[in-house]
Amino acid sequence: MKKIALALGAAMVLAGSAQAGPACEYLRNYVALQSQSGAELQMQDQDGACRVQNAQWSTGASSMLLAFDELVLRDEGLAAFSDQQEIPQSMELTVSGIYVLTGLLPGQDYVMRLQAKPMDFSLKYKWDSASAQLYLEQARLRSQSLRELRIQAQFEIESAAGRGLGVDELEQAQLKSLSLYLDNQNLFQSMVMPALVMNMSMYEDPRPGIEKALLAARTAVQLMPDSVADRGSRDALLAFIAQLPAPDGRLALDIKMDPPWSAALLESGMSVDQARKLMSGLSLQARYATGQVPSTYIWLRDQLRDGLRLLSLRKAVASH
């Protein structure tokens, strides 16, 4: 009887691994996740998604680890993924309770866990090879201490039309539209400014360079014609720039580019004539609000968003 029970248990384990969904297969084969406890990593197929709890991922930078409470990766878009592809053609990912660990010092990691102010991150994108359009439907980073950064964008990649999207093609992406929402409390100061200063020089006072950049930004906004941004949008941008590098407000920005902006051109720099051409096809709307938002409103807003996201997931499951 004992042998029969062991055989049945082994068969159930084998059947479960054979029936693993595409999201769990992708995480198992292409993402180096580890259990935080040191035990075997547990993945659960649930409602058309793969769920991983209390795991960590190596950032590739020194020994630093990104630990998280829960990761949910949807199956959709991953069923056709293979070794011949560099990146999935679509993805919907949610990670909650993210914090950083050293990966080397158990005592320091213990303290970092106690002091952590976890963040949540979500990503959803889709590549349409027929139209050569890459839709970044949402990239969102939020926490109670940093508030929220949310981005939506549309890219055109003509060189990849009619086929799968690879890493090299991403370098040829042209930005067609961008929507950005920043509800800043400490996010800009904690993430954007340190990265900016590190790119300048850690051995020199960065303030003169930052002031020069802010002056150039103010001048560019003041010179925008009404065809690019109306008076209200210009005032909103100027109010935001006036608070940099430590803004305390909520910026909503919607931009459309015609012609699209080339990522390679923006990185390598451009001539005055090229800049004027890009600006001539720019359409921009901006809003900026300052003042504290009641914590009750923030809680209700987050609960409503989570409820709507859960409802959309249930509808997606029901449709399948």
The two tokens of residue 266 are 């923006």
Q: Is the pLDDT of residue 95 over 90?
A: yes
pLDDT recorded at residue 166: 86
Six token digits for residue 125: 């994108």
pLDDT at 315 (0 to 100)? 60
CA 229 to chain centre: 27
Q: How far apart are CA 141 and CA 143, in angstroms?
A: 7
At 201-232, the pLDDT tens digits run 878 899 999 999 999 999 989 999 999 999 99
92 near 48, Cβ under 8 Å? no
Write the secondary structure of 148-170 as one string of H (helix), E (strand) and C (coil).
EEEEEEEEECHHHCCCCCCHHHH
SS3 content of the chain, % helix, strand, coil (to 5): 40, 30, 30
The pTM of the whole model exceeds 0.95: no
31: helix, coil or strand?
Answer: coil
Q: What's residue 10's pLDDT?
A: 39
Residue 140 has a pLDDT of 96
Looking at residue 219, what is its pLDDT? 92
Weakest-pLDDT range from 180-184, 189-193, 247-251, 297-301 = 297-301
Q: Chain-centre distance of CA 25, in angstroms?
A: 22
How many angstroms from the chain centroid is the CA of residue 68?
15
